[in-house]
Amino acid sequence: MRRRNAGHPVTTTAELTELVRQAIPAAARRRGGNPAKRTFQALRIAVNGELDLLERAVPRALNALRVGGRLVVESYQSLEDRIVKQALAAGTSSAAPADLPFVPEGLEPYLELVTHGAEQADAAERDANPRSASVRLRAATRIRPAAEAPAPYHANYAPAAKPRGRNRR
């Protein structure tokens, strides 16, 4: 840490691992494995834009489904699972105001959940494959055509408008 504080940049993963280890209190280091594991995971997710990609991919996948088609997604960490959960929840709830006594045509849900909540590996699977412990599986079936009820794109990732006129590329 002294080298880092003196202005020397971190240049290797071993240096970063040691820096993270030193920043974690000793009591917290005794459990949970190597504390740098989450740091490297966060760096990988940020550098690869994995969450942004997932936010764009889930609505596109839902809109590609025909009626009766199913989308099944395995999430390997909580941020991924939250994105999938929110997209599926949006499709399984009515777009009508909650205080209406009926749901007007066109505002009905367009998805039906196949799984109630996230499915997790059972004890036998976790024993045989410890990496399966973090996996969450969610699935939904499309019950209305995408032309009638498209899955909304995240505001930051709406498809770009196609250029018109002479400046098309």
**Segment-wise mean pLDDT, segments of 10 residues, the chain, 169 residues:** 68 85 77 77 89 94 96 94 94 85 86 94 94 93 91 62 49
pTM, full prediction: 0.75
Q: Which long-range contacts (CB under 8 A, 24 or more apart) does 24-33 make?
A: none
**C-alpha angle 144-99-85 in degrees, rounded to nearest 5:** 45
A 10 A CB-CB count for 54 gives 18
CATH 3.40.50.150 placement within the chain:
49-95+107-151
The tally of CA atoms less than 13 A away on the side-chain side of residue 104 is: 8
The sign of the CA dihedral 30, 32, 37, 41 is negative
A 10 A CB-CB count for 101 gives 4
| CATH class entry, domain 49-95+107-151 | alpha beta
